[in-house]
Amino acid sequence: MCGIFFAASSSGPVFPDANTVTLLRNRGPDSFQIHTARHDCLQDTVDSSGKQKSVSLHLTFVSTVLALRGDYLQPQPLVDADSKSVLCWNGEAWKIAGEPVPGNDTEHIFNLFLESARGPAMQEKQEAVHFHDHSDESVGRIANLISSISGPFSFVFYDRFNSKIYFSRDCLGRRSLLQGVDEEGSLRICSVCDGTSMSFEEVDTNGVHMIDLAHLSLPDVHSPATANGALKTAPYCISTIPWVSTDNASVSPSRCLRNPIPPMNRSVPEGEPPPLRLDSPVLETLEQKLRQSLELRIRNVPNPPNFSPEQNAKVAVLFSGGVDCTLLARLAHEIVPLNETIDLLNVAFENPRVAAAANAANGGVSGSDCYESCPDRITGRAGHAELQRVCPNRLWRFVAINVPYKETLEHRDQVKSLMRPHNTEMDLSIACALYFASRGQGLVSQNVDVPWVVPYTASARVLISGLGADELFAGYTRHPVAYSKHGFKGLIDEINLDVSRLGKRNLGRDDRIISHWGREARFPYLDEEFVAWAVQLPVWEKCGFGTAGSADALVGAVPSNDGDESLPLSDGVSQSADAIEPGKKALRLLAFRLGMKRVAGEKKRAIQFGSRTAKMESGRTKGTHVLN
């Protein structure tokens, strides 16, 4: 995990302010470096004498580093001594061209960028600095390289060979990157919203964005940088190399990126589809694919700085006790060495509105009850107990993260700043839950019979998240609604919509929130190979709608709020696999096969309702309400 700041200006170097530096260092506490460069280039405009105008563009590169790969720290930005090309890389290249990348990936990625920019003709001529690839084949080589990278990333690459700047996020948007133009016309690209009043927008995940410095038309520094709230980035000649499906023959392969996610399988069964059962072959493949994805993300994690025999967890799970995260914890048990603890981070909030209602009903609630009665705390403790039962030779450390209302208010402005440009009530309630959960400060429980023991702060820098399971396997309450209204076609359309907008929704926000604590979220369900496999499955091998005993009668009885705290909790015990509900049925059956019968029956509950961050002050607040 790294923090990136980049600026391009014709009026002099632009540096991040003190607040932005602090935010970047929070993301990457292990290294902080600044590199500046000047690029002299001709503009497309001419002066009064008819001569082509020239301009000196000042480039500023800032990187902070959270070292999580290999056995050494690789400081950034990386600068090539010969060409003066520069890379700021915030990513995890798990595979390149299908081959795993062992150890530290940053320097390896930089060398590949340099090779792609230089090209074979330039290598033969040995004209590393002055040769210009007029055929523009370098763009195609850069596109091919980025297409070959499997893993989350955002980056800024200054290709000094060919006078180009590339910046991007991966197609699923798993790493944050924002862009904006300030009042002086300077372009800024950053992992976080900086301390200025300028407007930022998230870098689009529709492709890799390129600035051709050989064809630059800079804005007048005295003209306003915004018009009607829209960012005026056109003067920087930003073009986009798009992600396209491999079956799209209308786009030149030299000017596009190969999208690793294929089109959705839209097969509709003829009649009733075969039911998903514990012996269905797809479950074997599901376990294998998910295990492979998880292993890439938790194998060989380096020791954190405060690693000790007492605090020996390198990996923690953002843990609600639901099937998505508990299944990952169960599989992690078979990958992480037995002498290492796995921390389960479970967050619960004091919600004054819920507390007032409980006081009125019960004549008073003790301090601990407001946390222990949270839906996610109840399911979390049940999931912890089941993991202890199924995997008794593993130390599972349940971290009860209790957040008083006063503390929520104290941190609210910080959370709102980190989640920018997102700014709705739902954004805030979800961001608050992730903010305190990833901070990892709570009370430890190593015995299911003892609610808590002592204060504890998690040492793990790698946090495993179950995000993506609902989108891929039809886990939201809108999925049974879609099936009830429009059958399998409607269900497939809804799943396809969820998958297609993954990169444009909330992963950038979540990355800014979680990485604030010097930790990195990893998403096994969002591995490109796993997603590609899941979207090609026929829908009846992912969920159980449309089959006998699939609990379709529940459709219409499910509230649209995705898990308000007033909903009854399931008893969690699924004595029969046939009784498991249809949403995410493949994942639920896999959990059942791995011994977690209770977890297999847990209902879906949105994090803001399970942890009680939603509707803290008013029960009538809508999630879409825009914050002041």
3-state secondary structure 537-583: CCHHHCCCCCCCCCCHHHCCCCCCCCCCCCCCCCCCCCCCHHHCCCC
pLDDT confidence of residue 588: 97
Distance, in Å, from the CA atom of 88 to the CA atom of 106, rounded to the nearest integer, reads 9
* Segments of the chain scoring below 50 in pLDDT: 126-135, 220-234, 249, 551-574
Provide the pairing of β-strand 230-231 with 201-202: unpaired
Q: pLDDT tens digits for 106-118?
A: 999 999 999 999 9
- Helices (H) and strands (E) counted in the chain, each on its own, are 16, 25
Which conformational region is residue 584 in: left (phi greater than 0), alpha (psi within -120 to 50 degrees), or beta?
left
Give per-residue burial for 52-74: e unless 16+ CB within 10 Å, then b.
eeeeebbbbbbbbbbbbbbeeeb
pLDDT confidence of residue 194: 75
The residues pairing with 56 across neighbouring beta strands, listed in sequence order, are 40
Alpha helices in 335-474, H assignment, sequence order: 352-362, 369-372, 375-390, 405-419, 425-439, 469-473
Q: Is the peptide bond before 77 cis (omega within 30 degrees of 0)?
A: yes
Distance, in Å, from the CA atom of 195 to the CA atom of 399, rounded to the nearest integer, reads 33
Chain position carrying tokens 């809804």:
494
Burial of 517 (0-12, 13-18, 19+ CB in 10 A): buried
Tokens of 344: 């389960």
- Are 318 and 290 in contact by the 8 Å Cβ rule? The answer is no
Residue 18 burial (CB count, 10 A): 9
- CATH top-level class of 2-258: alpha beta
pLDDT confidence of residue 231: 42
| CATH code 3.40.50.620 region(s) in the chain | 281-610
Max distance between CA atoms of the chain, in angstroms, equals 86
CA distances in angstroms from 254 to 123, 135, 210, 437, 581, listed in the order given: 20, 11, 15, 44, 46
Distance, in Å, from the CA atom of 177 to the CA atom of 201, rounded to the nearest integer, reads 9
The residues pairing with 189 across neighbouring beta strands, listed in sequence order, are 6, 179
| CATH code 3.60.20.10 region(s) in the chain | 2-258
Q: Is 2 a catalytic residue?
A: yes
Residue 181 burial (CB count, 10 A): 23
pLDDT confidence of residue 362: 65
pLDDT confidence of residue 374: 92
Tell whether the torsion through CA atoms of 522, 591, 330 and 446 is positive or negative: positive
Tokens of 302: 């380096």
- Are 473 and 542 in contact by the 8 Å Cβ rule? The answer is yes
- Are 122 and 186 in contact by the 8 Å Cβ rule? The answer is no
Residue 326 burial (CB count, 10 A): 29
DSSP strand E in 123-217: where?
Answer: 149-150, 153-159, 164-169, 178-181, 187-190, 201-202, 207-212
Burial of 342 (0-12, 13-18, 19+ CB in 10 A): buried
The residues pairing with 100 across neighbouring beta strands, listed in sequence order, are 95
The residues pairing with 54 across neighbouring beta strands, listed in sequence order, are 42
- Are 68 and 48 in contact by the 8 Å Cβ rule? The answer is no
Distance, in Å, from the CA atom of 47 to the CA atom of 163, rounded to the nearest integer, reads 22
- Are 442 and 345 in contact by the 8 Å Cβ rule? The answer is yes
Q: Please name which of 377, 346, 380, 345 lies closest in space to residue 459, comparing C-alpha atoms.
A: 345
Q: Which DSSP category does 626 fall into?
A: B
Three-state DSSP class for residue 256: coil
- Segment (H or E) for 22: helix 18-27
Q: Please name which of 566, 574, 624 lies closest in space to residue 601, comparing C-alpha atoms.
A: 574
- CATH 3.30.499.10 is held by the domain 281-610: no
